[in-house]
Amino acid sequence: MAPDGEVSDAAGEAMVAQRPISNILIIIAMQTEATPVVNKFQLVEEPESSFPKGVPWVWYHGIYKDLHINLVWPGKDSNLEVDSVGTVSASLVTYAAIRALQPDLIINAGTAGGFKAKGASIGDVYLVSDVTFHDRRIPIPVFDLYGIGLRHAYPTPNLLKDLNLKVGKLSTGDSLDMSPQDEATIIANDASVKDMEGAAVAYVADLLKVPTIFVKAVTDIVDGEKPAAEEFLQNLAAVTAALDEAVAQVIDFINGKCLSEL
């Protein structure tokens, strides 16, 4: 039993699941992916964020219907001026944003590579069921499982029925391309889509016990003919539109609902 005046973890979680979601945190790795969401929901940048001096992380926020929407983007690398993609930046910004904003729900949205062997096409939007890493090979018992880092997305059966998105597993690695070793792990992970952030966001959200869902739109076919980088850049703008439409639909669905109704 919890001491008087305190609520046990399980009871606390059950209470949160029963009251309407009010505070959501959208984590997006690239400016091109973030800007349409910022514009659609008329989010404003907070210049005096609670992030420490020196970090490039950008926090946008605003009110939409009954929701307080926060969007955090890791910003441009201070030295190189490119988007701070990948697992290290994603894990840091997820940690700092959870600590500062105490969200009820995280939506990690972004573009991804898709596998045609698993039925993915350019422009498809996936609601992810499970996330794993594919570039953390530690061939020592139990450490191997730690490296894979399997985590489940928060279950959202009603959202899925309503939106008619594709469902699949996501595998994360810090490279845009795919080595034969990555490919073997991705196949073992049974992934339909691959990105560069999802499993890191999931790791941090799991540490700090924040329910998280993943919305990923396919910019390039990894097991196709074209080089990933070329196809990615070619389709980024168009696919981002599909991604942002899906994110908007997800937010409209979430509004007024409890976690347990998703």
Residues in contact with a copy of itself by the rule CB under 8 A: 52, 54-55, 77-78, 80-82, 84-88, 91-92, 95-96, 99, 133, 135-140, 142-143, 145-147, 173-177, 179-181, 200, 203-204, 207-209, 227, 229, 233
According to DSSP, the β-strands at 151-152 and 67-73 are: unpaired
Q: Which one, 55 or 160, has the nearer CB to a copy of itself?
A: 55
> What SS3 state is found at 188?
helix
Pair 90, 201: CB distance under 8 Å: yes
Does 33 qualify as catalytic in the annotation?
Answer: yes
Angle at alpha carbon of residue 158, lines to 239 and 187, rounded to 5°: 55
CB of 131 or CB of 247, closer to a copy of itself: 131
Q: Active-site residue among 124, 182, 220, 231?
A: 220
Residue 95 carries which DSSP code?
H
Catalytic residue among 33, 83, 195, 244: 33
Asked about 135 being catalytic, the answer comes back as: no
State in angstroms the smallest separation of the CB of 158 from a copy of itself: 28
Q: Which residue has the tokens 């979430």?
A: 254
* Closest approach of a copy of itself to the CB of residue 239, in Å: 16
Minimum CB–partner distance for residue 89 and a copy of itself (Å):
8
Which residue, 96 or 217, has its beta carbon nearer to a copy of itself? 96
Report the distance separating Cα 131 and Cα 148, nearest Å: 9
**b (16+ CB within 10 A) / e for 25-39:** bbbbbbeebbebbbe
Catalytically annotated residues: 33, 220
